[in-house]
Structure 1
Amino acid sequence: MSIVVVKLGGAAITDKSVPDTLSHNIDALIDSVAHAYHRILRPSGRRLILIHGAGSFGHPPAKKYQVKAGWTTALDEAGGDDAEQARDNVKFGMALTRQRVLQLHTHVIQRLHERECMPVLSVSTYDTVETDNGAVIEGSSVRLMTRVQQVLEAGFVPLLFGDAVFDRALGSTILSGDALMYHLAERLPAVQRCVFVTDVAGIFTQDPKRFPDATLIKMIHCSEVGDSSAIDKDDSAASVDDVTGAMRSKWQWAKRIVTDAEQVRAVAICQVSDSSKAIGYEFSDASTTSHESGNWTAIVR
């Protein structure tokens, strides 16, 4: 059993310029995901894991109330009579962030269910994962992997999402969908391909939203790109507060996946219009990872 893990980025499912607003492309994206599952992955015996980001639903309250930094950090910075209020603000922010993310989650899962009865089951990060200073605790990692494998083996498609979680050191933090992608790829040996779907075709020579002559980089070999590269330094930031990073973050997580999860053949970064092909892409026995075709960026070792 081989597994494809797909992250539906916040920029692909929401309008990141307007809080709590779905993207006009969300239905096209869900159509593409369903097509890849029903027509390509399932017939070929491959399994699918889905993750979605928080986008303009979760990021604004998380940023406003500093949920990622946590309430212990707020206490340390405030001090005196302001400490209790600072703690309460972060706690309210965690509750509000979760409510907004769950609202978005409902939009996503309802649309998936409407596509030929796609058997998608929600797997809650908040209910299974705890972190310590941002790092996933081993015991909760086991819980998450056990639940995801149980859902897969029963014939369902797990749907996870970036969320606010409890943190032993910070009180609270944000566990991003990108981090979940890495964690699944590292811990599940059957994961062979990961796909980030966002609002641009992949990684470009420059930010394509600002530079019309930017060129798509279709293949990146991590072994040939050092940490001092322009990719690591550039960040095409979204216009709504984003507490987990934009394209630079995706590049860094993708690089970690292909470096640390040796069974993963490639990580693709694509836009909605190419998502079905990118999700369903499969190497033939004679092919090599240096010849992946498609209008997206493929990141390999």
Structure 2
Amino acid sequence: MTETVILKLGGSVITDKSGECAIDHARLHEIAGQLAVRRGLGLVLVHGAGSCGHPEARRYRINDGLASENVPGVYHTHTAVSRLNAAVVDALRDAGVEAIGIHPLDLALAEDGRLASFETRHIAEMIGHGIVPVLHGDVVMDRLKGACIVSGDQLVTRLAADLGGRRVGLATDVAGVLQNGAVVPRIDRDIVRRLDIGGSTNTDVTGGMQGKIAELLALADAGIDSHIFHISKIGRFLDGTEHGGTVVTRRGGP
């Protein structure tokens, strides 16, 4: 049976987060080349929004909930992240990867900022046929707030749980979780209390590194480890070799 691997590309890896939807096409094609030579994996790809979505979400205050004056923000935020998603899919397909974009706005419903329902059965079918689903952080409708932003990190944890993914990786623009400039090799709920983990320094409505760790610790509670590493180590993660980053694991784990 093909192993399911959940890989997330951070928004800061594939865009310039200080710009306005500034897509790094060269980086996308480098990543696509790494994935194209590793066809045996049942891969699900998730990417962050970076500068394609975060500025719009903040401008329209999407996470504050919907009111008449900010309803257009649903369209503008989704359009921005969809543009980035199309660029990711195009790069993969140019490299020979059978990729297809999937938009959470179309298949998810949230409640107070958390996923309440999220259809994944068709994603499992895609994986079984060698298709790489490419999802992204997105604006979704919310039963309490009207709308909210669901981060790529929240999607990763839900996908891993629903699809039985035992390998979860987050490729970022840093070597892992850093403390005083050094990589913290292992994090669990005990260790995290002793760390000072900052948020993103750029426009980010989903919590930066703090948000990532919160999501991944919940995944660790379910017995699924995850890996945070520099984008240059993506091949090592996919090959199952040492990437020099951080493993988020259950308390008392190995």
Fold-level match, TM-score > 0.5? yes
Q: Distance in 2 between matches of 1:188 and 1:106?
A: 24
Q: Which residue of 2 aligns with 1:57?
A: 52
Q: 2:82–2:103: 8 Å Cα contact kept in structure 1?
A: no
Q: Which residue of 2 aligns with 1:39?
A: 37
| C-alpha RMSD over aligned residues | 1.8
Structure 1 residue 204: Cα displacement: 1.0
Structure 1 residue 224: Cα displacement: 4.1
The 1:153–1:15 alpha-carbon spacing in structure 2 relative to 1, beyond 3 Å, is: same
**Secondary structure at 1:56's aligned position in 2?**
coil
Q: Distance in 2 between matches of 1:34 and 1:195?
A: 17
Q: 2:32–2:91: 8 Å Cα contact kept in structure 1?
A: no
Equivalenced residues, count: 249
Q: Which residue of 1 aligns with 2:194?
A: 229
Q: Distance in 1 between matches of 2:19 and 2:101?
A: 26
Q: 1:200–1:270: 8 Å Cα contact kept in structure 2?
A: yes
Q: 2:42–2:128: 8 Å Cα contact kept in structure 1?
A: no
**Secondary structure at 2:133's aligned position in 1?**
strand
Structure 1 residue 107: Cα displacement: 1.3
Q: Which residue of 2 aligns with 1:19?
A: 20
Relative to its length, the structure with more strand (as a share) is: 2
Q: Which residue of 1 aligns with 2:213?
A: 251
Structure 1 residue 33: Cα displacement: 4.7
Calculate the TM-score normalised by the size of structure 1.
0.77
Q: 1:167–1:173: 8 Å Cα contact kept in structure 2?
A: yes
Structure 1 residue 267: Cα displacement: 1.1
Q: Which residue of 2 aligns with 1:121?
A: 100
Task: Pick one of 271, 276, 279 that aligns with 2:238.
Answer: 279
Q: Distance in 2 between matches of 1:224 and 1:178?
A: 21
- 1:25-53 residue CA offsets vs partner (Å, 9 max, x unmatched): x5335433542x3434x34xx31000011
Which amino acid in structure 1 is aligned with residue 157 of structure 2?
Answer: Y
Q: 2:170–2:227: 8 Å Cα contact kept in structure 1?
A: yes
Q: 1:6–1:48: 8 Å Cα contact kept in structure 2?
A: yes
Runs of 4+ aligned residues of structure 1 deviating over 6 Å after TM superposition are none
Which amino acid in structure 2 is aligned with residue 3 of structure 1?
Answer: T
| Identical-pair percentage | 27
**Secondary structure at 2:74's aligned position in 1?**
helix
Q: 2:86–2:101: 8 Å Cα contact kept in structure 1?
A: no
Q: Distance in 1 between matches of 2:69 and 2:156?
A: 30
Which amino acid in structure 1 is aligned with residue 115 of structure 2?
Answer: V
Which amino acid in structure 1 is aligned with residue 186 of structure 2?
Answer: I
Structure 1 residue 245: Cα displacement: 1.3
Which amino acid in structure 2 is aligned with residue 18 of structure 1?
Answer: G
Within 5 Å, which residues of 2 pair with 1:190-201?
Answer: 191-201=165-175
**Secondary structure at 2:51's aligned position in 1?**
helix
Which amino acid in structure 1 is aligned with residue 73 of structure 2?
Answer: G
Calculate the TM-score normalised by the size of structure 2.
0.91
Q: 2:65–2:145: 8 Å Cα contact kept in structure 1?
A: yes
- 1:213-234 residue CA offsets vs partner (Å, 9 max, x unmatched): x1122x21415425x3224xx3
Q: Which residue of 2 aligns with 1:216?
A: 183
Q: Which residue of 2 aligns with 1:81?
A: none
Task: Pick one of 147, 158, 164 that aligns with 1:183.
Answer: 158
- 1:70-112 residue CA offsets vs partner (Å, 9 max, x unmatched): 11xxxxxxxxxxxxxxx23321111110111111111111111
Structure showing greater radius of gyration is: 1
The 1:97–1:200 alpha-carbon spacing in structure 2 relative to 1, beyond 3 Å, is: same
